[in-house]
Chains A and B, each alone.
Chain A
Amino acid sequence: MTADSLAAQRPVAARRPLFRRRSAIPGFGLTLGVTLSVLSLIVLIPLSAVALKAAELSPSEFLAAAFSQRALAAYRLTFGAALVAAVVNGVFGVLTAWAMVRYEFPGKTILNALVDLPFALPTAVAGIALATLYAPNGWVGQFLTPLGIKAAYNPIGVTIALVFIGLPFVVRTIEPVMRDLSADVEEAAASLGAGRLATIWRVILPALGPAWLTGFAMAFARGVGEYGSVIFIAGNMPYKSEIAPLLIIIQLEQFQYAQAATIAVVMLVVSFLMLLVINAIQAYSRRFV
């Protein structure tokens, strides 16, 4: 038998490239190609430019810029406030989605539109409005001051702005999943002797888990990167209420481009790691789907 005839007998499957399985759904090459090109142009290349810029510094200069006391305080505020805001949104987002999915009430359409407003509103407008409201002499602030609560020009103000910015993410990711939960499942829980609270706690909320994590992660990521609304309500005091994105701007204004890029790199790495962890938790929580 010749080598040619042997080759002809080899199963066709063995010659297929690794990543291309025969599929009835067309366009794998095209879609992946376009995705990677766009992702490169919009995300990967700009981000690697940031890293390159930061690499202009010597290791000791890099460390000094990345982990100065002022920068550390800014990271702590940025990630801390974003986390707290995401948790707050995680709670109120579920309640909002619940109200909108489960009940019919007058003004529901308006509420529905209001939820999306933080997406559309220029963030500076939101920041100024919130600062005016929560300032010690503002509409809401004047009632908080006698209680000893200062809600603007400090980390609490930052958190309030981030709650505003992040709310729609949780509501909009949870809503469709909640709508799809069938009444059957709740009735089954009731017939098995579960009370209303046990049903919500053990049946409904766990089913929302993966969607909730998605919304939480998006609200958190948005909060980390938020700039426009925060700077109006934060007070922007170094070491106290100065967020990392603002610190980057300040460095830029002082022509310290590499130092600005360094802080950006740190934020990038931390954000990426946190999102990676959240996504891993989410993948685990989706194991039953």
Chain B
Amino acid sequence: MTISIRSVQKQFGRYPALNHVDLEIADGELLALLGPSGSGKTTLLRAIAGLEFPDAGQVLFHDKDVTYASAAARRVGFVFQQYALFKHMTVAKNIAFGLDVRKGKDKPPKAEIAKRVEELLKLVELDGLGGRYPSQLSGGQRQRVALSRALAVQPSVLLLDEPFGALDATVRKSLRKELRRVHDATGVTTIFVTHDQEEALELADRVAILNKGQIEQIGTPREVHDNPASAFVCGFVGEANRFEGQISGGRFVAGPLSLPAPGVADGPAVGFVRPHDFTLAADGVEAKVERVNVQGALVRVDAVLASGARIEIAASRADADRFTGSVTVAAGKSHVYAA
């Protein structure tokens, strides 16, 4: 189902949580809302779910205005960071809840509900655990239950609020792949909120980056990573070395470092170079190596420029031995924005 957010505004006290946000979500898309805490990403998600109501603007499901429709009427599946399972119900009862509370002829017969629960348990690889209580499950398992509970009602859209936030790194990683698999299997339009850029880049079809209640950029993971639209996006998505300097005559200068800055007006500016865009080169700037850190196939090098600026360089493992003492590095690609 397509979802349109039109100029949505929401204020908490004097603090604007959403400031004229526009967003179109395509049918069957997996979209990430990425931003730091307080950026409004959760508020936006809750406005789509019907758990929060905007002060102004519209939320449309398939061109139907649902801005002030209740959560129950919208048929959305919502997954919470802290699972929000019903503790007094078994896993199977939890998953069946959305079907169980239906009334009259909307309510499927018992056998059908049981069959649906079995299917969902299989989908999230929890078969045989239907009789357990949530307290008897691990965090990862609980979140899978929450996911299948949300899917049980065949929602028109699946919304996840920091779904992996409370889990440890290994479980996070496997659940990410799981969510992608479930999304591909069901084809349901999915929106998830995260502050973890790695998660957003790995999982989503498109990423919307929010800052201070506004969308700074929206695009595929590759677009937002390679062509960040603003200094904020560049600093937030992916790793980047940040430099403060001046632009004059189309070049950005910060201490010994000089970067091309075509089309940016003269004046104070910030420049970014991603760690892997620094390469060893004869005609570069001098950097004193402080520490070399091997991480799998990469080496991460902490170095200091003559100006005192600290930089991080990522290079292939094969080059590890070349980073000793003093090296000269050049920035292959850089991003410069007027400050």
Q: Closest residue of chain B to A202, judged by CB?
A: B101
Residues of B within 8 A of A190 (CB): 50-51, 70-72
Residues of B within 8 A of A209 (CB): 88
Q: Contact between B78 and A191 (Cβ–Cβ < 8 Å)?
A: yes
Interface stretch, picked from B79-87, B119-127, B244-252, B263-271, is B79-87
B186 to chain A, nearest CB (A): 17
Q: Contact between A288 and B135 (Cβ–Cβ < 8 Å)?
A: yes
* Alpha-carbon distance between A235 and B86 when the two chains are bound, in angstroms: 48
Question: Which residues in chain A, 95-146, are within 8 Å of chain B measured between CB atoms?
Answer: none
With A184-B80, A187-B80, A288-B133 known as contacts, the answer to whether A194 contacts B88 (CB < 8 A) is no
With A198-B101, A202-B101 known as contacts, the answer to whether A191 contacts B88 (CB < 8 A) is no
Residues of B within 8 A of A194 (CB): 72, 97-98, 101
Question: What are the interface flags for B49-66 relative to A under an 8 Å C-beta threshold, 1 for contact and 0 otherwise?
Answer: 111000000000000000
Q: Contact between B84 and A188 (Cβ–Cβ < 8 Å)?
A: yes
Q: Contact between A191 and B101 (Cβ–Cβ < 8 Å)?
A: no
Q: Contact between A191 and B87 (Cβ–Cβ < 8 Å)?
A: no
Residues of B within 8 A of A289 (CB): 87, 135
With A190-B72, A193-B72, A288-B133 known as contacts, the answer to whether A185 contacts B102 (CB < 8 A) is no
Kindly state whether residue B75 has any CB partner on chain A within 8 Å. Answer: yes
* Alpha-carbon distance between A209 and B87 when the two chains are bound, in angstroms: 12
A255 to chain B, nearest CB (A): 54
* Alpha-carbon distance between A189 and B85 when the two chains are bound, in angstroms: 9
Tally of chain B residues near chain A (CB < 8 A): 31
B83 to chain A, nearest CB (A): 8
Residues of A within 8 A of B135 (CB): 288-289
Kindly state whether residue A203 has any CB partner on chain B within 8 Å. Answer: yes
Q: How many A-B residue pairs have CB under 8 A?
A: 79
Q: Contact between A187 and B71 (Cβ–Cβ < 8 Å)?
A: yes
Q: Contact between B97 and A191 (Cβ–Cβ < 8 Å)?
A: no
* Alpha-carbon distance between A202 and B89 when the two chains are bound, in angstroms: 10
Residues of A within 8 A of B195 (CB): none
Kindly state whether residue B221 has any CB partner on chain A within 8 Å. Answer: no
B279 to chain A, nearest CB (A): 48
Kindly state whether residue B300 has any CB partner on chain A within 8 Å. Answer: no
Question: Which residues in chain B, 78-116, are within 8 Å of chain A measured between CB atoms?
Answer: 78, 80, 82, 84-89, 97-98, 101-102
Kindly state whether residue A20 has any CB partner on chain B within 8 Å. Answer: no
Tally of chain A residues near chain B (CB < 8 A): 21
Question: Which residues in chain A, 246-289, are within 8 Å of chain B measured between CB atoms?
Answer: 287-289
Residues of B within 8 A of A238 (CB): none
Kindly state whether residue A42 has any CB partner on chain B within 8 Å. Answer: no
Question: Which residues in chain B, 133-154, are within 8 Å of chain A measured between CB atoms?
Answer: 133-135, 146, 149-150, 152-153
Kindly state whether residue B117 has any CB partner on chain A within 8 Å. Answer: no
Q: Closest residue of chain B to A192, judged by CB?
A: B98
Question: Which residues in chain A, 69-94, are within 8 Å of chain B measured between CB atoms?
Answer: none
Q: Contact between B50 and A191 (Cβ–Cβ < 8 Å)?
A: yes
Kindly state whether residue B76 has any CB partner on chain A within 8 Å. Answer: yes
Residues of A within 8 A of B78 (CB): 187-188, 191
Residues of B within 8 A of A192 (CB): 72, 77, 97-98, 101, 149-150, 152-153
Residue of A184, A188, A194 with highest tally of chain B CB at under 10 A = A188
Q: Closest residue of chain B to A188, judged by CB?
A: B84
Residues of B within 8 A of A191 (CB): 49-51, 71-72, 74, 76-78, 150
Q: Closest residue of chain A to B149, judged by CB?
A: A192
* Alpha-carbon distance between A194 and B86 when the two chains are bound, in angstroms: 13
Residues of A within 8 A of B87 (CB): 207, 288-289
Residue of B50, B70, B97, B149 with highest tally of chain A CB at under 10 A = B97
Q: Contact between B75 and A185 (Cβ–Cβ < 8 Å)?
A: no
B260 to chain A, nearest CB (A): 50
B75 to chain A, nearest CB (A): 7
Residues of B within 8 A of A184 (CB): 80, 82, 84
A213 to chain B, nearest CB (A): 13
What 8 pairs across the A-B complex have the smallest Cβ distances?
Answer: A184-B84, A192-B98, A191-B78, A288-B133, A188-B84, A194-B101, A190-B71, A206-B88
A–B complex contacts, Cβ < 8 Å, 26 sampled? A182-B82, A184-B80, A184-B82, A185-B85, A185-B86, A188-B78, A188-B80, A188-B84, A188-B85, A188-B149, A190-B50, A190-B70, A190-B71, A191-B78, A192-B98, A192-B149, A193-B72, A193-B102, A193-B153, A194-B98, A202-B101, A206-B88, A206-B89, A207-B86, A288-B135, A289-B135
Chain B residues in the interface with A (C-beta under 8 A): 49-51, 70-72, 74-78, 80, 82, 84-89, 97-98, 101-102, 133-135, 146, 149-150, 152-153
Given A182-B82, A191-B77, output 20 extra A-B contacts at Cβ < 8 Å.
Answer: A187-B78, A187-B84, A188-B80, A188-B146, A188-B149, A190-B51, A190-B71, A191-B72, A191-B78, A192-B72, A192-B97, A192-B150, A192-B152, A193-B75, A193-B101, A193-B102, A194-B97, A202-B97, A202-B101, A287-B133
